[in-house]
Amino acid sequence: MAAVLGVSAHYHDAAAALVVDGRIVAAQQEERLSRVKNDPSLPRMAIDACLALGDIEAAALDRVVFYENPYRKLERVMVGSFAAFPRGAGFFRRALRSQLGDKLWVLDQLAAHLGVKRERVSFVDHHQSHAASALDCAPFDDAVALTIDGVGEQESTAIWAPADGGPRRVASIDYPHSLGLFYAAITAYLGFRVNEGEFKVMGLSAYGTSRFDDEVNQLLRVAADGSFRLRTSAFDEHLRPDRAYGDELVQLLGPARESQRPWDLDSGEDRRFADLAASAQRALEEAVLALGRAAHERTGARHLALAGGVALNCSANARLLAEGPFERVFVQPAAGDAGGALGAALLGARSEGDAIDGRFDPALGVAADPDRAMAVARHLGLNADRVDDPEREAAERLAGGAIVAWVRGRSEWGPRALGQRSLLTRGDDVTLRDVLNRRIKGREAFRPFAPVVRDEHASALFEGAPNDMTPAMTTVCRAMDDSLPGCTHVDGTARVQTVGPEGALDGLLRAMEGHGQRALLNTSLNAAGEPLVAHVTDALDFFVRRKPDVLYVEDVRITR
């Protein structure tokens, strides 16, 4: 019986997770509290929040586990810079500065922040953390884990079999051959921010025609055994991490897109970039499918659990389920580096002898406080009052075309708003979608929104829904008809969320059915470039700045 804190930090999207007696008690991304998107810094606020949520003092922690081996990571960074001699001089300087200034001392930093003995702080492998988070949270047994990201210590991809002490590595592919690196380079080439704009590439790809397959296949080649190879001379990730691509990639694909220019998909130039996104997405999907088949061949498992940043590519996940060899596929919702904190905590709990409680609900973050929301709202000059039936009232407003900010319970773990910190509107009205994109969210017009529907109506509206990925929106499904144009993408798919009777949006969706609506458009409660809201003050800040029609914090209704 142990209390174990897992931590990820110092690359991007730092987080903390608390596992007590084998049960996941809390998990929190630092960005949600610091308000710095993808905050990589030591997650002090997230750690403190997890301890508070678990009602546990730091001194009572049996173990603190960091999600990767900082020493092996340093080795890989150094080797990479020497291998690029003499071009690696600048990278060597920058890398040593950050390694010696911060990263190398992370275990000591954790001990100092928590006031625990250094011996109680340990580390595990990066990809093993990912694998543990996927296997332990999956709703099935007889599974293999596939972890795919940019890079951990040395690996970019690995296949894992379940074992008593934690996932056992079956096979792996080493960096720089990395699907995460490939997609990051394409992301930067298209003018988006690496580690953030990957979702945009995926959304953009649906507007394109994959006419650059030949060129892209020169960058990423899939082998018969399911592995893949990058043309490494076209990538510069270890020398220019913010860009990831090299001059050779530009020679192959043409000039890169300027990052600040507004998108115009009617222009020939931006059509070319959309077509490139389509080819890159297609290449990634083929590579992921091949990896899935390889994982199945090597283990014979019936089910697949996915983690690592590439596992957030919901279009690839959908193809893996539809065309791959597995009966069921699950993605741990915080599949990126944040999720490593959860895996590290679970591995720590196993090593303390605890059996893992596989029940998993992504509402693991800080709780909403309606009393505080009401008090702060009134000091902001807003109208705030309690309502008897917020679901019924919100449904009436939504039916009338309102855009509703919705805060319920504990905040979400992972990048998707799942009804705890959501912006909602009708899914059958493209005008509302456009208002949401332009005025409220400030996003590119080509980015799609997602529908949310109760389990019992899912199969009538979306092919293959519900499945193990739809509760956390980590896959896409084809819409049965065109009744939800506001939240169906241009290719006819939607990143649908399905909600069971315990879901945060179940009551609201039931109330919507009284207005003839079986689904809603559900998007994250944040503006472009900002982290998802966590605290009620963040929700109020958003409400004041971005002006949705109404904000509900539990049973408190806030209007202007």
Residue of 1, 59, 60, 79 that binds another protein (CB under 8 A) = 79
Helix residue ranges per DSSP H, 356-499: 370-379, 390-399, 430-435, 455-461
Q: Does 35 bind another protein (CB under 8 A)?
A: yes
Q: Does 265 bind another protein (CB under 8 A)?
A: no
Q: Does 102 bind another protein (CB under 8 A)?
A: no
Q: Does 464 bind another protein (CB under 8 A)?
A: no
Name the minimum Å distance from CB 453 to another protein.
32
Name the minimum Å distance from CB 518 to another protein.
36
SS3 160: strand
Q: Which stretch binds another protein (CB under 8 A): 62-70, 164-172, 314-322, 463-471?
A: 164-172
Number of residues in contact with another protein under rule CB under 8 A: 62
Residues 64 and 378 sit within 8 Å (Cβ to Cβ): no
Residues facing residue 122 across a β-bridge: 65
For another protein, which is the closer residue by CB, 102 or 361? 102
Q: Does 33 bind another protein (CB under 8 A)?
A: yes
Let me know how long the chain is: 560
Residue of 74, 265, 367, 375 that binds another protein (CB under 8 A) = 375
Name the minimum Å distance from CB 163 to another protein.
12
Q: Which stretch binds another protein (CB under 8 A): 65-73, 113-121, 378-386, 547-555?
A: 378-386
Q: Which stretch binds another protein (CB under 8 A): 255-263, 343-351, 443-451, 549-557?
A: 255-263
Residues facing residue 553 across a β-bridge: 407, 556
Q: Which stretch binds another protein (CB under 8 A): 306-314, 326-334, 444-452, 541-549?
A: 541-549
- Listed in sequence order, the residues at least 6 apart from 288 whose beta carbon sits closer than 8 Å to its beta carbon are 148, 179, 310, 313, 316, 317, 319, 320
127 annotated active-site:
no
Kindly state the helix (H) or strand (E) to which residue 460 belongs, with its residue range: helix 455-461
Residue of 209, 259, 267, 559 that binds another protein (CB under 8 A) = 259
Name the minimum Å distance from CB 528 to another protein.
12
Give the whole-angstrom CA distance, residue 336 versus residue 239. Answer: 22
The active-site residue, picked from 12, 126, 177, 535, is 12
Q: Which amino acid, one-letter code, is at 505?
A: L
Residue 556's CB is within 10 A of a number of other CB atoms, namely 23
Give the whole-angstrom CA distance, residue 496 versus residue 281. Answer: 19
- Listed in sequence order, the residues at least 6 apart from 227 whose beta carbon sits closer than 8 Å to its beta carbon are 173, 177, 290, 291, 294
SS3 422: strand
Give the whole-angstrom CA distance, residue 243 versus residue 240. Answer: 6
Q: Does 421 bind another protein (CB under 8 A)?
A: no
Q: Does 538 bind another protein (CB under 8 A)?
A: yes
Q: Which amino acid, one-letter code, is at 307?
A: A
> Would you put residue 178 in left (φ > 0), alpha (ψ -120 to 50) or beta?
beta
Q: Which stretch binds another protein (CB under 8 A): 165-173, 311-319, 400-408, 483-491?
A: 165-173
For another protein, which is the closer residue by CB, 177 or 303? 177
Nearest to 552 by CA among 535, 530, 536, 531: 536
Give the whole-angstrom CA distance, residue 63 versus residue 42. Answer: 17
Q: Which stretch binds another protein (CB under 8 A): 131-139, 174-182, 272-280, 431-439?
A: 174-182
Q: Tokens 């080649």 identify what position?
A: 221
Nearest to 9 by CA among 63, 46, 53: 46
Q: Does 492 bind another protein (CB under 8 A)?
A: no
Q: Does 415 bind another protein (CB under 8 A)?
A: no
Query: Residue 499: what are its φ and ψ, rounded to 5°?
Result: -125, 130
Residues 214 and 461 sit within 8 Å (Cβ to Cβ): no
Q: Does 545 bind another protein (CB under 8 A)?
A: yes
Residue of 164, 255, 379, 482 that binds another protein (CB under 8 A) = 379
Name the minimum Å distance from CB 259 to another protein.
7
Residues facing residue 508 across a β-bridge: none
Name the minimum Å distance from CB 87 to another protein.
11
Give the whole-angstrom CA distance, residue 495 versus residue 451. Answer: 7
Q: Does 171 bind another protein (CB under 8 A)?
A: yes
Q: Please report, as residue ranges, which positions from 179 to 238 form the binding site for another protein (by CB under 8 A).
A: 193, 223, 225-230, 232
Q: Please report, as residue ranges, which positions from 37 to 56 form the binding site for another protein (by CB under 8 A).
A: 37-39, 41, 44-45
Question: Where on the chain is the footprint of another protein (CB under 8 A)?
Answer: 33-39, 41, 44-45, 78-83, 85-86, 88-89, 92-93, 96-97, 168-174, 176-177, 193, 223, 225-230, 232, 258-261, 294, 372, 375-376, 378-380, 529, 534-535, 537-538, 540-541, 544-545
User: Looking at the annotation, which residues are catalytic?
Assistant: 12
